[in-house]
Amino acid sequence: MEDVNFKKTVRFTEAVRRLLSGRYVIRSRNPKAFQSIVDNEGQLMDYFDLAGGDLHINDMLGVAYVSSNSEDDENCQIRFGRKVTLKASETLALIFIRRQRAEYFDSANAEAESPLLDIEKLKSAMALVMKKDEATDKDFQREFGKTLDRLKELQILMGDEHDSLVISPVADIVLPADEIQTYAQAAEKYFTAKDFFED
């Protein structure tokens, strides 16, 4: 019994540590930590509320995270993860990724909890919008690599495969369904009016 309780305590501590670091706890990647958060939801909500944060548990997506409940971080005892700010290329990639995830779950063939992203398809789509030659433009290739790294850092993409990555449910939180079209229109205007690599 002591061993079981110890393991539960370890999982709970690890889950809290991830929440405090501004990370998402994703059920499909860490089911025991996610369940630990669900089981202790009331206690955690009280703790984070006192510290200036809000605990969010999205059971449908299988994602838990904490955000600041104060516009003034100086009033918070703990600095929680800030709102994500994306570069233009990262926003463009996220729009493509988010649309693909939505289309996957709208289809009758959705079986996996998280769909796979074809990296080459994303690269081609971004090059088309940005009017870049994906095969020869070194600046574009470098920017594309940085974009993938950033989206993995944000837990929007997961995995280490060279040809495909998992699209995590975090994408739905960062870019909600009702905002996809708005961001897509803004991105279209941006890349039509501006050369991406201009200073």
Closest CA relative to residue 8, chosen from 28, 53, 38, 29: 38
| For residue 140, pLDDT beyond 70 | yes
pLDDT of residue 85: 84
Backbone torsions φ then ψ of 26, nearest 5 degrees: -105, 125
Amino acid identity of residue 30, one-letter, is N
Distance CA 81, CA 184 (A): 25
The encoded tokens of residue 173 equal 């939180």
Backbone torsions φ then ψ of 167, nearest 5 degrees: -90, 110
The whole-model pTM stands at 0.82
Domains of the chain: residue spans and CATH: 2-75 (1.10.10.2250), 88-193 (1.10.10)
Distance CA 168, CA 158 (A): 7
* Contact criterion met (CB below 8 Å) for 110 and 124: no
- pLDDT higher at 12 or 44: 44
pLDDT digits (tens, 9 = 90+) for 144-193: 999 999 999 999 999 988 899 999 999 999 999 999 999 999 988 888 86
Give the number of other CB atoms < 10 A from CB of residue 91: 18
C-alpha of 76 from chain center:
24
* Contact criterion met (CB below 8 Å) for 23 and 158: no
- pLDDT higher at 76 or 53: 53
* Contact criterion met (CB below 8 Å) for 145 and 136: no
pLDDT of residue 76: 47
Give Cβ neighbours of residue 70 (< 8 Å, ≥ 6 apart). Answer: 52, 76
pLDDT digits (tens, 9 = 90+) for 93-129: 999 999 999 988 887 676 777 899 999 999 999 999 9
pLDDT of residue 23: 86
Distance CA 119, CA 31 (A): 27
